[in-house]
Amino acid sequence: MAQNRSAEKRVRQNATRRARNRSNLSRLKTDVKRLRTAISSGDKDEAIRLLPLTVGQLDKAAKKGAVHDNKASRTKSRLTRHVNDLLAS
C-alpha cells in the first residue's frame, strides 16, 4: 500500500491511465477485427469505409501511448496493403 501522499497520487494516476488505455485498446481491437473481417469476406465497400476509421484509431492510440508508434505504423501499412490487394482483385 502507498505510504505517502505522492505515492497515493501515483496509484490514482496509474488507475486512471490504465482504464483509459484499456478503453482505447478495446475500441482499437474491435475496429481492426471489423476491418479484417470485411477484407476476408471480400466486402470492398465496407473495407474502404472502415480503413480511414481504423487508421485514425491507430493514430490516436499511438499518440496517447496505448500502443507503440512502430506497431501502429506496421498495422496501418499491413491493413492498407490488404485493402489495396482486395481492390486490385
User: Each residue of 16-38: pLDDT tens digit?
Assistant: 999 999 999 999 999 999 999 99
Quick check: 35 and 47 in contact, CB under 8 A? yes
Q: Is the pLDDT of residue 11 over 80?
A: yes
Q: What is the mean pLDDT of residues 46-64?
A: 95
Question: What is this structure's pTM?
Answer: 0.84
CATH label of the domain that carries residue 41? 1.20.58.110
**Residue 55, pLDDT score:** 97
> Mean pLDDT in the chain?
95
| Number of domains within the chain | 1
Closest CA to 21 of 53, 67, 54, 57: 67
- Domain coverage including residue 11: 5-88
Task: Between 82 and 1, name the one with better pLDDT.
Answer: 82
